[in-house]
Homo-oligomer: A and B are copies of this chain.
Amino acid sequence: MTAIRGARERARSEITEAIKDEARKQLAAEGAAKLSLRAVARELGMASSALYRYFPSRDDLLTALIVDAYTALGVAAERARDANAEPPAAPGTTTSRRPEGGSTGRSEKAGRGEARARAAERALAQWCAICTAVRDWALAHPHEYALIYGSPVPGYHAPHITTESAARVGLALIGVVRDAHAAGLLKEPAEPLPDAVVADALALGAELDVELPPAVLARLIGAWAQLFGLLSFELFGQFNRVVEARSAFFEQAVSQLAGSVGLVAPGPRTST
């Protein structure tokens, strides 16, 4: 039904995509402020009024671009996470996940301390990989980054449609910490938390169905926001006369963020 009925619908979705592509091009060239519906239509060889059949207003086009940017950033983060996932996966999945073959798995003769250290190292690597993937995407698409993490463009209300896509990189980060916590290799912070913050953390944990101590979740949210603080400062020019070694500084800050949520580098043989 929906497959064959295409004909027209396919043309519609094709044109919709063409419009978004052209809009993205203008976005990358001049920024969101200069994005003009008429210019898009002109470039596509159609009347400007025809464009309103696909996007009822300029803001709707922008929100479509916002959603796309969120998901693009989300998949970049998830790809980075999966690329650094545990090598000895379940045999059922045929995903091309096999960086190390079977070499690392099940070596019981070695102390499990070593396995723990390796798992902790992997968690830390995943964390950093996600962060640098986000940064790489942001550096490659600065205007799209500005669109989603800069000043809200329209009135200022983000439709709820965007929230799902917007959460993906946050969820990726949470996932890493959740797995680390489940594996018991998380150094939980022991600090007093305000009750309201605990309540928020509990509510969020319940909503996301993730079991993490409130303190960890709270720090996770903070790290999530702070990650984008670093990125925004770098992209928006706040580091201009301050930080020159951007990549090194970012990596440094990010690994420190990892530490703040309890992901500790195994380092020099800590526990017996």
Whether A52 is near chain B, meaning CB under 8 Å from some CB there, is no
Q: Which residues of B contact A253 (CB under 8 A)?
A: 218, 222, 225-226
Copies of this protein, total = 2
Given A33-B33, A194-B245, A228-B229, CB of A158 within 8 Å of CB of B240: yes
Give 1 or 0 for each of A237-263: 1 = CB within 8 Å of chain B CB.
111111111001101110010001000
CB contact between A219 and one of B197, B200, B248, B256 (< 8 Å): that residue? B256
Contact B152 A245 (CB under 8 A): no
A166 to chain B, nearest CB (A): 7
Contact A200 B252 (CB under 8 A): no
CB contact between A232 and one of B218, B221, B228, B251 (< 8 Å): that residue? B228
Q: Which residues of B contact A194 (CB under 8 A)?
A: 245, 248-249, 251-252
CB contact between A149 and one of B219, B236, B252 (< 8 Å): that residue? B236
Q: Which residues of B contact A239 (CB under 8 A)?
A: 221, 225
